[in-house]
Structure 1
Amino acid sequence: MQSKQPAVPFSRYQKFVIFILAITQFTVILDFMVMSPLGDMLMKSLDLKPQAFSVAVSAYAFSAGISGLLTAGFADKFDRKKLLLFFYTGFIVGTIFCGFAESYQALLAARIITGLFGGVIGSVSMAIITDIFALQQRGRVMGFTQMGFGASQVLGVPISIYIATLWRWEAPFWMVAAISILIFTAIAVYLKPLTAHLAIQHDKSPFEHLWHTIAKKNYRIGFTATALMSIGGYMMMPFGSAFAVNNLGVSYDQLTVLLIVSGISGLVIMPLIGRLSDKIDKYVIFAIASICMMVMCVVYTNLGRTPLWEVVIFNVLMMMGIMSRMVPAGALVSAIPDMADRGAFMSINASMQQIAGGVGAVVSGALVSQASKGSPLVHYNWVGYVIVVISVISILLLRRVDNLTKNKMEDKKMVIPEGEAILSEGF
């Protein structure tokens, strides 16, 4: 029986790194997520049709995905601190431009700039974590840094909606930019240079390494599974607030309550699903969560005027299904790559996630229409039906990922003694 290793404590500097990366992720995620709840305000303020708004949302995702692919091969060629500061600077500039945007064209250009730089920050942060933290510490580090998603929903998005209601839709972008400038200063002053990786010689050019990674069939199965899950998730997002306000009868004040409750449910359910995934078969958890999501998406997108308490219940159940897929699916996909390809695989996988999300937003915009400002959205229920079809395909495809993962683990047990397998996996 394998004995548990004692937890390696964090140094004072490591605690600072965890905090600064977590709040950096918070600003990047908030900048992206705030577009959805601002959707109704933006469409009314800039006189946008649903299709035009979905393009503005997808512009960030497409540019982030392309940027991730282009920079993946070069991420190990520079000081990671300088790389983080470079991309964070571009992200801040793009966010400021969003605050200045007075037309649809200006907003679209600003979202493209923000995506080009913001989409790479997560990959750079992962590289920094790998450099600074021992293998025995990284699970806890990832747990802290990934809280940016839940915190953005619980704190960031409701606050953004509140200040947008008090002033204008541009206000949340100014808030994100102001916070980001403070974080940039802290990174520049206190984060130490990270250059040890520059001494390592690589026998492949960046482009060759990326091509060899993409060329592997098993890897492409993982990329496809991630892309399909992202398409389904992003299809619901662009018009979530507009549907709640114009179809369900939710006010902007009530929308804040709805987002807070959904965010809190995410913070509660994600750790529980994580523990269940380690105790029960990950694919089983994914399949159950996907079925729950499919049922609730169809129910939710077919609702008419509904009391707030019912909207909250349906929304929480739907979000639980959507988010509960992420943990087991992410764990299964992350087990596919070999150690030598892990960095390139994760960068490409993240890019596929962003690009697929952009496709989902565009498809959603093509399906949904609105006769005039403030009128109910039409055909939003079609989005729910498309998600069901995509989710069924995702369940079948992730079965292949599950089989690949289990076969790989069995092969490893045959080659490496069980007591050494875990140790060798991280080096």
Structure 2
Amino acid sequence: MTKTAIPEKPKIFTSYEVFIIAILATLQFTVILDFMVLSPLGAILMPTLKITPAQFAMVVSGYAISAGVSGLLAAGFADKYDRKKLLMFFYVGFVVGTVFCALAQDYYSLLLARIFTGIFGGVIGSVSFAIITDLFRMEVRGRVMGFVQMAFAGSQVLGIPLGFYLANRWDWHLPFVVIVIVSLIVGVLIVLYMKPVDTHLHNKVQRNAFKHLFQTVTRPEYAKAFAATTLLATGGFMLLPFGSAFSVNNLGISKDYLPLIYIITGLFSMAAGPFIGKLSDSMGKYKVFVLGSLWTAVVVIFYCNLGITPLWLVIVISVLMFTGVSSRMISSSALISAVPEPLDRGAFMSVNSSVQQISGGIATFVAGLIVVQNSNGKLDHYGTLGYVVVGATLITIVMMYFLDQYVSQKLAAAPPKSAPVASVEPEVAPS
């Protein structure tokens, strides 16, 4: 008897698409690490540079606000060029800015360096997400976002503990030097192996950059997405910059154990990322977002009102909190990516990133005004931040519902997709 050949299961991603996912995830790792490394360094920078919590918050928000302004200025031009060239232009500026951070010697030079870095670094994420939306269909976009968002967890596992160790053992400038070295390697790989991403330039009517920006900002469906993004950014930007100082001064955790917390939390987040992405594709982006939001809200209220806490419990709470945060990030990114029309993706992503950065910068600045460090070193009113974050989270659930309805109607009206899974998503005529 002859054996019947079992047909091979088609691959979801080609080898080149796997490379794109990997290189964009690594690129995001360097950019996110550059921003997030300041959070654990807060416990070192504030006494070393003799700055207040409000000044430290300004260093963090300076990056975010400059990134937001830069994104708005770049939005009108985001769909006029090959996305690979645009990506490399801003990535080079980001690397130069990080070099300035590594050379900074006082509060003002560091602040200026962070502003310069933000001008370039803040646009990179929007260009990356535009590339993802161009190359991958909605059916698998949750998986892609899950892998790319692993950069957030990866920065905890590898970057933040290493950065904190280098800063605590030698000097706080050293983490930025390491980021520069890794970024240079990533940049070379992109130049050598990434193909041009210029499909959006084909059959496209040239539009005035400022008119394009105005039409993107004022379109009602897009405005709803921008409003949701404003509140989505509140949580992380309010709590994370003061996380290390809160752990050391309020929870009673030794600085020596902070890397362990970040490593364990990051490992769990990395493991959960692909699973959450796959769940978003199968169960539904909005459903996963709601569950992640409610999960996060409960944990945040508990965490922000803790006193002296055992190390093991802090680790468990951190794992639970970041799992919820990852669920919100992955599902919301995948859902929002389906909002713009193909010809508006670059502009939409730039504006959306700008809104996220500016609102996050303002949230960080406001958090710096709310949190007060008393004479004993403890941070007062941290619990108040938790309630603000939870309030924003609950409102965002409602706002994302309407976006989900819009995306569902848009996809239902789109022509049937006969192209391969990872091909460019068919265009939908603008309303």
- TM-score class, shorter-chain normalisation, is 0.7 to 0.9
Alignment correspondent of 2:42:
39
Q: Which moved more, 1:77-86 or 1:375-384?
A: 77-86
Q: Which moved more, 1:318-327 or 1:164-173?
A: 318-327
Letter in 2 for 1:29: I
CA distance in 1, matches of 2:122, 2:406: 29
CA distance in 2, matches of 1:229, 1:293: 12
Structure 2 residue corresponding to 1:376, chosen from 378, 389, 398: 378
Which structure 2 segments of 5+ residues have no match?
Answer: 1-7
CA distance in 1, matches of 2:230, 2:401: 15
Alignment correspondent of 1:391:
393
Matches within 5 A, 1:6-45: 6-7=10-11, 10-11=14-15, 17-45=20-48
Q: CA deviation at 1:108?
A: 0.6
Structure 2 residue corresponding to 1:178, chosen from 181, 185, 201: 181
Q: 1:283 and 1:359, CA in 2 relative to 1: closer, same or farther beyond 3 A?
A: same
Alignment correspondent of 2:271:
268
CA distance in 2, matches of 1:137, 1:398: 20
**Deviation readout 1:65-120 (Å, 9 max, x if unpaired):** 11111112223444544433332221112111111212111111000011111112
Structure 1 residue corresponding to 2:322, chosen from 319, 324, 347: 319
Structure 2 residue corresponding to 1:367, chosen from 370, 380, 389: 370
CA distance in 1, matches of 2:65, 2:57: 12
CA distance in 1, matches of 2:31, 2:140: 24
Contact 2:91 2:187 in 1 (8 A): yes
Q: Classify the secondary structure of the residue corresponding to 2:205.
A: coil
**Deviation readout 1:245-303 (Å, 9 max, x if unpaired):** 11111122211010011111211222222233333344333223222211211111111
2:90 is the counterpart of 1:87: yes
2:313 is the counterpart of 1:335: no
2:235 is the counterpart of 1:232: yes
**Deviation readout 1:385-411 (Å, 9 max, x if unpaired):** 11122122112222222232333344x
Structure 2 length normalisation: TM-score?
0.87
2:240 is the counterpart of 1:244: no
Structure 1 residue corresponding to 2:107, chosen from 104, 108, 125: 104
Q: 1:24 and 1:418, CA in 2 relative to 1: closer, same or farther beyond 3 A?
A: closer
Contact 2:269 2:322 in 1 (8 A): yes
CA distance in 2, matches of 1:229, 1:143: 17
Q: Classify the secondary structure of the residue corresponding to 1:326.
A: helix
CA distance in 1, matches of 2:279, 2:21: 25
Contact 2:143 2:278 in 1 (8 A): no
Letter in 2 for 1:340: L
Q: What's the C-alpha RMSD, in Å, of the aligned pairs? A: 3.0
Q: 1:388 and 1:76, CA in 2 relative to 1: closer, same or farther beyond 3 A?
A: closer
**Deviation readout 1:173-228 (Å, 9 max, x if unpaired):** 11111222333344445556666766755332121112112111121111111110
Q: 1:257 and 1:285, CA in 2 relative to 1: closer, same or farther beyond 3 A?
A: same
Q: CA deviation at 1:168?
A: 1.5
Contact 1:300 1:314 in 2 (8 A): yes
CA distance in 2, matches of 1:329, 1:195: 26
Q: 1:331 and 1:178, CA in 2 relative to 1: closer, same or farther beyond 3 A?
A: closer
CA distance in 1, matches of 2:264, 2:72: 35
Q: 1:279 and 1:101, CA in 2 relative to 1: closer, same or farther beyond 3 A?
A: same
Higher relative contact order (CA 8 A, sep 6+): 2
Q: CA deviation at 1:14?
A: 5.9
Q: Classify the secondary structure of the residue corresponding to 2:340.
A: coil
CA distance in 2, matches of 1:239, 1:232: 12
2:412 is the counterpart of 1:426: no
Contact 1:236 1:383 in 2 (8 A): yes
Alignment correspondent of 1:152:
155
CA distance in 2, matches of 1:298, 1:338: 38
Contact 1:135 1:426 in 2 (8 A): no
Q: 1:132 and 1:311, CA in 2 relative to 1: closer, same or farther beyond 3 A?
A: closer
CA distance in 2, matches of 1:84, 1:281: 30
Q: Classify the secondary structure of the residue corresponding to 1:47.
A: coil
Alignment correspondent of 1:219:
222
